[in-house]
Structure 1
Amino acid sequence: MATSCKKAWVEGRVQGVCFRISTQKQALELGITGWAKNLPDGRVEVLMCGEPDRVSQLEAWLHEGPPLARVSKVSVVDESLAPPDGFLVG
């Protein structure tokens, strides 16, 4: 089974609105490993590893986020990393 990893940077109103925890919930439901963490500049950085179609589903979800979030931009790059175990919130 192929595994793909992508890193995303999510901009907008994405801190203090349960974005990281909601991302973790979505990732676990999709069987995605990785992490989500707040950055000092107000963005959230997300690493997503798993089956390519499921990574794409999580990537699409990042454009909306949880109800209180207001996503203005999502930047994504492919990563060539060994997939981590689980999905951490940092």
Structure 2
Amino acid sequence: MSRLKKRKQKKILTIALVVLAPFIAYKLAYPNSGSDVVKEDLGREIIVHLPNGNTMHTYEGYIIHDEDKVLYQSKYYEKDITGSEIEYLPE
């Protein structure tokens, strides 16, 4: 009876290790992923009404006033939005 209990315990421990190992490896490889990442404050939410009639929803942190130009600049994209109407949404 004792041998069966030991085998069963080993089997349960092996299954638990196989199930938990990928999760533990992921947490060790990517420690900052998930909800604990601090989000950057981008300011108020705005709507940009473009001259062609389209609208663009974004945050004021992405809007850059450069001399006589107004630019929308995100991490991968930049667009000249000079002449567009900027509407600030209530907080």
TM-score using structure 2 length = 0.29
Higher share of residues assigned strand: 1
Higher share of residues assigned helix: 2
**Which structure has the larger Rg over C-alpha atoms?**
2
With a CA cutoff of 8 Å and minimum separation of 6, indicate the structure with the bigger relative contact order. 1
TM-score using structure 1 length = 0.30
